[in-house]
């Protein structure tokens, strides 16, 4: 397994991002979004709908070059991304979808990844034969298969039932802990944010800005229910104070 670059640092400084609105004027989406993430840190972005979280992730992933500011990724950084929708190739099996982005992956590693995500029985299935939960797991497997230096997760557990969501969340935590990788996670679930993140960035309504940051020093695996509840209260209090409510 390839270790991620030890000194890797992700620096994000988005001064401004705007969309062209239908009336002809510009709609400001992001403003002065500045943060850095050290190697292996999991930064969670929490904020109201439409505050530009997905736009920010797209900029960091290099999918949207139309913004003012800069994003400095570690040199030759490999990106793994889980989109809101699984974005699997419908004409390729589960196995081949993962191999599409990671053609050099060993059978041993692929099997291990499928075992963690409980996809072993579905390797030969086509995406059309999978439930949404399974398809999301394949998308997660695909993102980890490339051994990313930066992992971008855009609401990976959205629209799943609570039990399945908790299960995949624990699998995600296990994967992140098995190989530390700089991770950006966008979520509307405070529980998910607190259980997965090292730092929680609270974002304002549009134009999105980072209005507060909560650092969680305790390792993920060591956090118990009372820790989670305490951190949630802190973040909720901060959200109320800032008038930023995640919806």
Question: Which residues would be at the binding site for other proteins (CB under 8 A)?
Answer: 61-63, 78-81, 83, 85, 87, 89-92, 100-101, 103, 126-129, 142, 146, 152
Query: Residue 139 or 168: which CB sits closer to other proteins?
Result: 139
Q: In angstroms, how far is CA 237 from the centroid of its own chain?
A: 24
Is there a contact between 30 and 17 (Cβ–Cβ < 8 Å)? yes
Least Cβ distance, residue 166 to other proteins (angstroms): 26
Pick between residue 89 and residue 112 the one whose CB is nearest to other proteins.
Answer: 89
In the complex, the smallest distance separating the C-beta of residue 212 from other proteins, rounded to whole angstroms, is: 29
Among 104, 102, 138, residue whose Cα is nearest residue 120: 138
Nearer to other proteins, 99 or 188 (CB): 99
Query: What is the DSSP code (8-state) at residue 52?
Result: S
**Residues 141, 113: contact at Cβ < 8 Å?**
yes
Whole-number minimum distance, CB 47 to other proteins, in Å?
Answer: 22
Cβ atoms 14, 67 nearer than 8 A: yes
Residue with tokens 């499928």, as numbered in its chain: 114
Tokens of 81: 């991304």
CB nearer to other proteins: pick between 184 and 239: 184
CA distances from residue 245 to 78, 84, 133, 205 in whole angstroms, order as listed: 33, 20, 27, 8
Task: Kindly state the smallest distance separating residue 92's Cβ from other proteins, in Å.
Answer: 7
Closer residue to other proteins in complex, CB, 13/85: 85
Kindly tell me which of 84 and 242 has the beta carbon lying closer to other proteins: 84
* Residue among 121 and 241 whose Cβ is closer to other proteins: 121
CB of 26 to other proteins, least distance (A): 23
Q: How far is the CB of 3 from other proteins (least distance, A)?
A: 19
Type and span of the H or E element at 138: helix 132-145
Is the CA virtual torsion 113, 130, 80, 155 positive or negative?
A: negative
For the CB of residue 100, give the shortest distance to other proteins in the complex, in Å.
6
Residues 184-211: b if buried by 16+ CB within 10 A, e if exposed:
bbbbbbbebbbbbbbbbbbbbbbbbbbb
């Amino acid at each position: 397994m390839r270790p991620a670059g030890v000194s890797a640092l992700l620096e994000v400084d988005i001064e401004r991002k705007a969309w062209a609105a239908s009336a002809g004027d510009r709609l400001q989406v992001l403003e002065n979004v500045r943060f850095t993430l050290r190697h292996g840190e999991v930064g969670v972005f929490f904020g109201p709908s439409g505050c530009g979280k997905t736009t920010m992730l797209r900029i960091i992933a290099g999918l949207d070059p139309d913004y003012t500011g800069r994003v400095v990724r570690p040199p030759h950084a490999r990106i793994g991304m889980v989109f809101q929708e699984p974005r699997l190739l419908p004409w390729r099996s589960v196995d081949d979808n993962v191999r599409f982005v990671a053609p050099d992956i060993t059978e041993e590693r692929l099997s291990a990844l499928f075992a963690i995500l409980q996809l072993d029985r579905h390797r030969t299935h086509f995406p059309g034969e999978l439930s949404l939960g399974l398809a999301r797991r394949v998308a997660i497997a695909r993102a980890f298969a490339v051994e990313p230096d930066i992992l971008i997760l855009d609401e990976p557990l959205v629209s799943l039932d609570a039990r399945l969501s908790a299960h995949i969340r624990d699998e995600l935590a296990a994967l992140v802990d098995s190989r530390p990788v700089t991770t950006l996670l966008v979520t509307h679930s405070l529980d998910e944010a607190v259980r997965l993140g090292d730092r929680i960035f609270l974002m304002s309504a549009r134009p999105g800005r980072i209005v507060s940051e909560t650092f969680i020093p305790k390792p993920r695996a060591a956090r118990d229910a009372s820790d989670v509840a305490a951190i949630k209260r802190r973040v909720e209090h901060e959200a109320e104070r800032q008038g930023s409510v995640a919806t």
